[in-house]
Amino acid sequence: MQLKDLKVVVTGAAQGMGAHFAQRLHEAGAQVAVGDISEEKLATLPAGIHRRRLDVSNEEDCTSFVNWAYQTMGGLNGLINNAGILRDALLVKKDKTTGQVKKLSTADWNAVIGVNLTGATIMVREVVAKMVETEQKPGVIVNMSSIARHGNRGQSNYVSAKAALAANTVTWSKEFAPFGIRVGAIAPGLIETPMTQGMNQKARDTLVATIPVGRIGLPEDIWVAVKFVLECDYFNGRTIDVDGGLYF
């Protein structure tokens, strides 16, 4: 599919990779509808990009947003499922000084699963339902997974969500094939975004030192992969790792 033919939703688009994807799509002539919980940051995106508040953890919000995007763009044939949050912590930790045992809170588990998995799944469901209802084809879904899906210390909640998204990319590619809808996933490694800029500097430097290409990734590196999935009509049901060779 050519980018100029896309009428696409991008979630989590107020900053970082989502904002970069939205701008690049807009520059390529696509119609873009973006959503995020931060309306203030959405307002900084270029004119011509449709924007509206979206909390993907709220089912009614997802349904309403998809209907709005369809009406605003006069159609809908794509989704970049990018919204995500972090609530990192070891599942069980023992303080070396006090001996106190700390556990990952259920609230932090539910928050990450609610946005990164349940919310992402609802967005796919609603976008695909709209495409099928309106007989829109071809269509394309891009899920943002992570190399953390292979397992990463201190990220039980995040790993669970991103591994499930990668697995369901295969599931959905099979389910949606009769409707002419492809599904692919991108699994970024360590990327320069507001989320990673908040990391402990020592931990960040140590991690960057393990990347064979010798640097942290940039949103443009991930955009190149997203663009491939959008444009290559023979790509379906697979996840592409874009991590500079990083291995946890």
* pLDDT number for residue 30: 98
* pLDDT number for residue 118: 98
Listed in sequence order, the residues at least 6 apart from 76 whose beta carbon sits closer than 8 Å to its beta carbon are 7, 8, 9, 66, 69, 70, 127, 130, 131, 134, 136
Query: What are the φ/ψ torsions at residue 203 (nearest 5 degrees)?
Result: -65, -40
- The Cα 10–Cα 140 span in angstroms is 12
Query: What are the φ/ψ torsions at residue 138 (nearest 5 degrees)?
Result: -75, 165
* pLDDT number for residue 248: 57
Listed in sequence order, the residues at least 6 apart from 197 whose beta carbon sits closer than 8 Å to its beta carbon are none
pLDDT per residue over 192-212, tens digit each? 987 777 777 887 788 888 899
Copy the structure tokens of residue 185.
Answer: 């996933």
pTM above 0.85, yes or no: yes
3-state secondary structure 78-94: EEEECCCCCCCECCEEE
What beta strand segments (E) does the chain contain? 7-11, 31-36, 50-53, 78-81, 92-94, 101-103, 139-144, 181-188, 239-242
Q: Where are the domains of the chain?
A: 3-242
* pLDDT number for residue 113: 98
- The Cα 45–Cα 41 span in angstroms is 8
Specify the CATH number of the domain 3-242. Answer: 3.40.50.720
In three-state secondary structure terms, 229 is helix
* pLDDT number for residue 241: 96
* pLDDT number for residue 247: 67
Q: Please confirm, yes or no, whether 234 is among the known catalytic residues.
A: no
pLDDT per residue over 84-112, tens digit each? 999 999 999 999 899 999 999 999 999 99
Catalytic residue among 70, 158, 234, 247: 158
Flag residues of the chain having pLDDT under 50: none
